[in-house]
Each structure stands twice: as C-alpha cells, then as structure tokens.
C-alpha cells in the first residue's frame, strides 16, 4: 500500500530538490557550453553563494520555530547544514584543484596575501566537525558537548559572510544584505528577545484558538 500523502515529508523533499538546483544548473550550463569566458569564476561563485544561503537557512530554523511554532522545520536544519557543507567543500575544491592545480606553494602565498581566503578556510574548517557529528548517534555520544560544539556554526556563518564581504571589491550591497540577515538571525536567538517573541506567539495563539473550529452559521 502506498503511503498517504500526509505522511510524505514534503518540506524535506523541497529542501532536497532546492538544494540540488544550483549544482544541476551549473552542470547544465557547463554541458551546454553556457558558462562565461571565465568558467572557473562561474563555478566558484555558483558553489559559494549556495553554501552561504543554505547555511543561513539552517540558522533560520530556530527563529522560525520561535516566531511561528514551525516544529516541523527542526529536522530540516541538519540537511540544510549538510548541503551548505557540500557546496562549501565544492567551492574549496574548485579553488584548490581546478584553479590552482594543488600548487601548495602558490596556494600558501595566496592565502597569506588575501584575507578573504583565510576567512573562507576558517568557515569550512569549522563546518567540518559539525557535518561529521550531525547524526543522532554523535548527538548521543557527545551529550551536552554536542550543543557546545554545534554553536560553532555561528562563527562559521560570520566567517562565511566576512569571506564574501572581503571578496567583493566594488559594490558591497549584496554581501552586506547577507550580513544583515545573519545579524537578524543571531539577534532572534538572544534569550530575552526569544522569550519575548515566544510569549507574543503564545498570546496570539490563545486569542485565535476560540475562532478555530467555530461552527458555520446557516446561510454562510
């Protein structure tokens, strides 16, 4: 018997499909020869930006639960983080393998000369243990230390945004928008604000509850 539609995890399906779209788009453009005259730059930007977006979306789950009570979104956080790590790793491999051919001496010089590379590498290194310990098994093994470890995602996101800001040399509008989004998401995690918003949501829910399920009048 096929599962009932209500049992299909549609939000998770949307996350999987949406997360693969940037990779499929890049692959299609490469296959059809639609990349620009600088294909490495296309591939680099086409993996770096999705990594940042997915990382910010993973940080948006907790505020969404606080503001709207969307508990169904909690399982999505792990997958959003893993996809962010996937794109960040691809971003790094394109730079080190395709762009510089694993020329370690030149890579070392580039990292020392360009601060945005240090920020990007720092973000990826912080994301590595988070991806490796993202399973429930590791959560049980680490206990309370698991939450402490995974708070490193805040620093990783900050370094990722800093990487974007330092990379852009002209118009900073786009990276600053991402910086503002990150600042807002972090502010929503502050305990006083979080408690206040949660209390407001509970009050609104209590006020709306009497109107739910109210029987329709004849003639409505």
Over the stretch 48-100, which tens digit does the pLDDT of each residue have?
A: 999 999 999 999 999 998 888 888 899 999 999 999 999 999 999 999 999 99
- Spatial separation of the C-alpha atoms in residues 133 and 147, rounded to whole Å: 11
Between 69 and 39, whose confidence is greater?
39
The domain spans of the chain are 9-202
pLDDT at 153 over 90: yes
Mean pLDDT of the chain: 89
Cα dist from 130 to 78, 84, 85, 135, 138, whole Å? 10, 11, 9, 10, 10
Predicted pLDDT of residue 195: 83
**170: burial class by Cβ within 10 Å (0-12, 13-18, 19+)?**
exposed
């Amino acid at each position: 018997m096929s599962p009932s539609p209500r049992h299909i995890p549609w939000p998770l399906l949307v996350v999987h499909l949406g997360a693969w779209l940037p990779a499929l788009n890049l692959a299609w453009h490469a296959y059809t020869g639609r990349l620009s005259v600088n294909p490495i730059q296309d591939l680099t930007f086409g993996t770096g930006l999705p990594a940042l977006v997915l990382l910010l979306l993973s940080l948006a789950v907790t505020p969404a639960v606080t503001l709207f009570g969307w508990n169904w979104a909690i399982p999505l956080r792990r997958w959003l983080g893993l996809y962010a790590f996937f794109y960040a790793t691809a971003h790094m491999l394109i730079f080190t393998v395709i762009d510089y051919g694993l020329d370690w001496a030149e890579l070392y010089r580039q990292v020392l000369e360009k601060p945005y590379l240090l920020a990007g590498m720092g973000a990826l290194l912080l994301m590595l243990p988070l991806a490796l310990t993202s399973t429930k098994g590791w959560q049980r093994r680490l206990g309370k230390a698991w939450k402490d470890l995974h708070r490193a995602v805040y620093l990783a996101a900050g370094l990722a945004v800093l990487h974007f800001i330092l990379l852009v040399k002209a118009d900073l509008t786009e990276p600053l928008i991402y910086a503002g989004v990150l600042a807002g998401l972090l502010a929503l995690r502050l305990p006083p604000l979080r408690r206040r918003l949660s209390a407001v949501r509970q009050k609104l829910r209590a006020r709306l509850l009497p109107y739910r399920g109210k029987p329709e009048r004849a003639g409505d």
